[in-house]
Amino acid sequence: MTAREAIDYLQIKRATLYTYVSRGWVKAISPGGSRKLYLRSDVERLKVRQRARAGHGAVAGDALRWGEPVLETRISNIEAGRLTYRGRDALDLTGHPFEQVATWLALGRWVEPAPWGGLEGRRVEVERPLRGETPLKTMRLVVARRGVPQPDPDPEREFERGAALVHELAAVMFAAERVERARAEATVAAALARASGLLATAREPDLLLEALNGALVLCAEHGLNASTFAARVIAATGADLDACLLGGFAALSGPLHGGACDRIEAVLDELDAGESADAVVARRLEAGMAGFRHPLYPSGDPRTAPLLAWARRLGGDAPRLQSAMALERAMRRVELDTPTVDFGLVALCAALGLPRGAAAGIFGLGRCAGWIAHVLEQRETRALIRPRARYIDEPTP
């Protein structure tokens, strides 16, 4: 935001804005010259605090926008810069199978999982209409085409149905001609690696599978983000699991959620075309640069570092990865050096040479684990999610 936009939004004096900056409440950056911009997420967080003093109605209204918690959950928590899955640090779980972590999230059981590749589930033939689509849209279409199985009252059986679907989605994300071989893989990471064609050519297949499995674990769950909340609202109506996941994918398709990866890729296209990272950053900052400074992690998104480490180990010389690192350095020069998980996923996919849209696809595939967990938890409550809107009366013209 410009200074004028921040002042008008907060209804404060210019001196007060400078006080907020000096106290570290609002980040100020200099994209060039003497001009300054103020971080939108910091300004919006201050607005929530202002409205909290205005009474219960204002607090409830702002709760839907990075505000106070609106639901109780046992699934995950974000606090003091840490993301935990049922009390376990998400970063510590990246060395465990994605299937084991997903079982822990959904059922609260820490057990060695059976291979998801052997689970029975509805399969969708991937014909020509799906070719050429992005991985995220392909998965959404596959879920929509599966039919509508009735909800199973047994959480264990319902989770198994969801697990079979997730494995199927990994197999169909990329080329249609590799689907059958991908379906034969035991794990979601291996199915993804086979479907993408990486497993057949990898010089370090174990490292490849480690990175893909870790990426899926880091994307598995993140509280009441937009897609998870959408899936929970749908689950609260008694809808079947496929409908809930379809709602999650629909929310994820928006540019402000799952589309963040696509927006980062668009920036890298500009760098690949020869424009300097500093010039791109200076031009794009005011409109908002995706992939940096997560509102829930003022000191940095903890999920990013492992992804960047895998990217460097797997393809440190890849030109596309070098463009990503140049962008990170340019953002550091304007004191915005905290890349998010979206940036980390794009960097990993750049290192692996995966096509456009792969990062968003991996994000959505991993997030299915969290959606399933929240659907099952919401069903336990047997409660409809039905907030009310605060009506604003406007004079009739």
3-state secondary structure 184-196: CCCCHHHHHHHHH
pLDDT value, residue 33: 67
Q: Which band of pLDDT confidence, cut at 50, 70 and 90, is reported for residue 62?
A: low
**73, two tokens:** 């959950």
Tell me whether residue 294 is one of the annotated catalytic residues.
yes
**What's the rounded mean pLDDT across residues 235-246?**
95
Residue 62's nearest CA partner among 289, 387, 298 is 387
**What's the rounded mean pLDDT across residues 56-62?**
51
- Virtual torsion, Cα 327, 330, 334, 340, nearest 10 deg: 30
Helix (H) or strand (E) holding 77: strand 76-79
179 and 133 in contact (C-beta within 8 Å)? no
Distance CA 388, CA 368 (A): 28
pLDDT value, residue 121: 67
pLDDT at 63 > cutoff 60: no
Residue 163's nearest CA partner among 216, 232, 88 is 216
pLDDT at 92 > cutoff 50: yes
Q: Which is more confidently placed, 176 or 37?
A: 37
- Virtual torsion, Cα 15, 19, 21, 24, nearest 10 deg: -170
Three-state secondary structure call for residue 296: coil
Q: Which band of pLDDT confidence, cut at 50, 70 and 90, is reported for residue 60?
A: low
219 and 366 in contact (C-beta within 8 Å)? yes
Tell me whether residue 342 is one of the annotated catalytic residues.
yes
**133, two tokens:** 């689509």
**What's the rounded mean pLDDT across residues 335-353?**
94
Three-state secondary structure call for residue 78: strand
Give the list of residues 6+ apart from residue 248 with CB closer than 8 angstroms, or none.
Answer: 227, 228, 230, 231, 364, 367, 368, 371
Largest CA distance in the chain: 70
Residue 298's nearest CA partner among 253, 243, 252, 340 is 340
Q: Model confidence over 127-172: pLDDT tens digits?
A: 544 566 899 999 999 998 887 678 889 999 999 999 999 999 999 9
Work out the mean pLDDT of the chain and round it to a whole number: 89
Q: Model confidence over 251-260: pLDDT tens digits?
A: 999 988 989 9
**Dihedral (CA of 358, 215, 190, 229) sign:** negative
* pTM of the shown model: 0.85
Question: In order of start, what are the domains of the chain with their CATH numbers?
Answer: 3-62 (no CATH), 88-251+367-381 (1.10.580.10), 260-352 (1.10.230.10)
pLDDT at 69 > cutoff 80: no
Distance CA 158, CA 107 (A): 11
pLDDT value, residue 50: 76
Q: Is residue 24 packed enough to be buried (19+ CB in 10 Å), middle (13-18) or exposed (0-12)?
A: exposed
**220, two tokens:** 């598995």
Q: Model confidence over 213-231: pLDDT tens digits?
A: 999 999 999 999 999 999 9
Q: Which band of pLDDT confidence, cut at 50, 70 and 90, is reported for residue 79?
A: very high
Residue 302's nearest CA partner among 350, 338, 348, 335 is 338
Point out the catalytic residue in the list 42, 62, 240, 342: 342
Q: Is residue 23 packed enough to be buried (19+ CB in 10 Å), middle (13-18) or exposed (0-12)?
A: exposed
Distance CA 330, CA 316 (A): 18
Point out the catalytic residue in the list 62, 294, 301, 374: 294
How far does the chain reach from its first CA to its final CA, in angstroms?
Answer: 33
Query: Any alpha helices (H) in the chain, and if so which ranges?
Result: 3-10, 14-22, 40-52, 56-62, 98-107, 135-145, 155-172, 179-183, 188-196, 198-201, 205-219, 226-236, 241-252, 260-272, 277-284, 304-315, 319-333, 341-352, 358-381
Q: Which is more confidently placed, 305 or 288?
A: 305
Distance CA 260, CA 140 (A): 17
